[in-house]
């Protein structure tokens, strides 16, 4: 069988920053990650985990301290020009010249890549991203959402086989999020390899075939989305009960293993449990015996819960 080639190959890559106080920050700690050609991969991690650092290294914006990185089989140190020709990056921070129009910005980018007029597809891109009618409007007059879409268009001017998006939907409203999702899904269906970083588990779940989780500069999990979610099976339960007068009453609750209290107030408890290991009837029984329950609701676990579980393995 032919081995699937890597769209992105990151091997033993480390990045150290030194801050103003001359302290060293280990932003990436010996990271290895392979993104196969044609894949749709999610890179998830809490703030400060190293996601943007990793992506900025791919884009040549940040220099790695050590390790090896190749894009579409082109080593970024040996063949930087062809490596960067193979990748389009939508950075987390939007930066653009306010006095450029989308049309001018894309034309300039196409020029920098040395694209002939006949090779350009800027108008199609603007159209697909809902910016056709803003083509000649100054960037300063575009909304945040439009600027974000323009950054996506800019990343695709040279038709790279790999598209990387760094938290494209952070702080973006639901409609635009959905629109971006659809666009990216279509790019993927047409053969583009996608690497997406996000804060939203729900987003990664809906879009990505595989998910890599990064925490404190280390890849702590890399698995098929379905297997990862199964492994991470965790449920949240919010129990409303009649007010308790004694402080720390929750500490006296003897809960089953694989269950953890997340938060308490005088009349509520939020807990997390692993449904594959905890019998819900038993859990409810304990709660009922100890609390005068008013209401129970369930909730999807937050990404933070998932990270806690992976990094501390508390519920496993």
* Residue 73 CB, nearest approach to ligand ADP (Å): 25
Nearer to ligand ADP, 16 or 159 (CB): 16
Distance CA(162)–CA(36), nearest Å, equals: 10
Choose the contact partner of 27 out of ligand ADP, Mg ion, none; CB within 5 to 8 A by kind.
Answer: ligand ADP
Residue 48 binding ligand ADP, by CB under 6 A:
yes
193 interface partner picked from Mg ion, ligand ADP, none, CB below 5 to 8 A per type: none
Q: How far is the CB of 45 from ligand ADP (least distance, A)?
A: 5
Interactions with Mg ion, residue window 37-66 (CB under 5 A) = 51-52
> What tokens does 34 get?
């392979």
Binding to ligand ADP (CB under 6 A): which residues in 17-46? 17, 19, 25, 27, 45
| Candidates 2-10, 34-42, 51-59, 241-249; binding stretch for ligand ADP (CB under 6 A) | 51-59
Q: Which does 263 bind (CB under 5 to 8 A by kind): ligand ADP, Mg ion, none?
A: none
Q: How far apart are CA 122 and CA 111, in angstroms?
A: 12
Q: Which is nearer to ligand ADP, 19 or 248 (CB)?
A: 19
Closer residue to Mg ion (CB): 47 or 190 = 47
Q: Compute the least distance from the CB of residue 221 to ligand ADP, in Å.
A: 15
Stretch that binds ligand ADP, among 49-57, 105-113, 151-159, 244-252 (CB under 6 A): 49-57
- Quote the least distance from Cβ 266 to ligand ADP, whole Å: 35
The DSSP-derived string for the chain is: -PPPPEEEEEEEEEEEEE-TTS-EEEEEEEEEEEEETT-EEEEE--TTSSHHHHHHHHTTSS--SEEEEEETTEETTT-HHHHHHTEEEE-SS----TT--HHHHHHHHHHHTT--GGG--HHHHHHHTT-GGGTTS-GGGS-HHHHHHHHHHHHHTT--SEEEEESTTTT--HHHHHHHHHHHHHHHHTT-EEEEEES-HHHHHHH-SEEEEEETTEEEEEEEHHHHHHHT--EEEEEEES---STTGGGG--PPTTEEEEEEETTEEEEEE-TTTS-HHHHHHHHHHHS-EEEEEEEPPPHHHHHHHHHH-TT-
Tokens (6 digits) for 44: 């998830």
Q: Tell me how far, at minimum, the Cβ of 302 lies from ligand ADP, in Å.
A: 17
Binding mask 3-22 for ligand ADP (x = CB under 6 A): --------------x-x---
Of 268 and 302, which CB lies nearer to ligand ADP in the complex structure? 302
Contact residues for Mg ion (CB under 5 A)? 51-52, 92
Contact residues for ligand ADP (CB under 6 A)? 17, 19, 25, 27, 45, 47-53
């Amino acid at each position: 069988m032919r081995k699937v080639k890597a769209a992105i190959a990151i091997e033993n890559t480390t990045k150290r920053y030194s801050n103003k106080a001359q302290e060293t920050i280990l932003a990436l700690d010996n990271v290895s990650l392979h993104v196969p050609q044609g894949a749709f991969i999610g890179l998830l991690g809490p703030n400060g985990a190293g996601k943007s650092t990793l992506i900025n290294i791919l884009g040549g914006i940040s220099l790695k301290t050590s390790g090896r990185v190749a894009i579409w089989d082109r080593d970024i140190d040996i063949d930087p020009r062809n490596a960067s020709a193979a990748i389009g990056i939508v950075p987390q921070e939007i930066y653009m010249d306010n006095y450029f129009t989308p049309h001018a910005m894309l034309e300039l980018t196409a020029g920098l890549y040395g694209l002939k007029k006949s090779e350009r597809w800027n108008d199609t891109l603007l159209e697909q991203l809902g910016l056709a009618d803003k083509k000649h409007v100054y960037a300063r007059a575009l909304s945040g959402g439009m600027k974000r879409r323009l950054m996506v268009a800019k990343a695709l001017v040279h038709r790279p086989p790999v598209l990387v998006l760094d938290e494209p939907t952070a702080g973006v409203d639901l409609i635009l999020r959905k629109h971006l999702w659809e666009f990216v899904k279509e790019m993927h269906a047409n053969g583009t390899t996608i690497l997406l970083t996000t804060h939203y588990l729900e987003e990664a779940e809906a879009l990505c075939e595989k998910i890599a989780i990064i925490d404190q500069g280390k890849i702590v999990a890399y698995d098929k989305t379905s297997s990862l979610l199964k492994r991470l099976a965790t449920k949240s339960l919010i129990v409303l009960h009649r007010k308790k007068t004694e402080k720390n009453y929750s500490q006296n609750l003897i809960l089953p293993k694989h269950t953890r209290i997340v938060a308490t107030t005088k009349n509520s408890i939020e807990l997390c449990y692993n449904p594959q290991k905890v019998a819900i009837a038993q859990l409810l029984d304990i709660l009922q015996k100890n609390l005068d329950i008013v209401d129970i609701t369930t909730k999807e676990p937050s990404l933070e819960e998932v990270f806690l579980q992976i990094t501390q393995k508390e519920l496993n």
